[in-house]
Structure 1
Amino acid sequence: MPTKYEPIHPGEILSTEFLDPLGVSATELARAIHVPPNRVTRLINGQAAVTPDTALRLARALRTTPEFWLNLQMRFDLDMAADAGGVMDDIQPIVVM
């Protein structure tokens, strides 16, 4: 059976793959993308999601695409929902003939 990993929040990717290597603080990024510092801090701490607005701003500042950030968020959300399970186990496919 494959090893199950904890879903990775987009804020962790932002911090470890972009801010740390660039030597940029959350406050500096917030200033660069014209948002309040707590918006970036909450994202990095996994307390906030990447919104379309944030994705556009991050993409512009970090030379990525908005889709990159939204796909990270969507993958995280899907993984979290799948891990919650329970209710989903009782759902049966609807077969149309």
Structure 2
Amino acid sequence: MITFLGAKRRVCEERRSGYIIRTIKALYVADLDAQAYLTLITRPERLRQDMATFQSTAATFRTCKTIWSEPKGRFSIGQGAACPKEARWF
């Protein structure tokens, strides 16, 4: 189990063609129900090193809340602390 989007998540593992593929998944709410996945693809000899990076990176992901302005008014979407002002949306 590793932390991703603020909670401990199970890690799913596949082995294919000499690679180890580990994925974590989280459900969250933005303006509607959503899913996020983070995947590590590595070789067995790099697994320990890459897994440490994967785990520390996963722990930095979080949801946030922002205010949107439209002609009909302002509204908030998302959950958690306010999104950083420098955040980019795509």
Range into which the TM-score falls when normalised by the shorter chain: under 0.3
Greater helix proportion: 1
Greater strand proportion: 2
TM-score by length of structure 2 reads 0.24
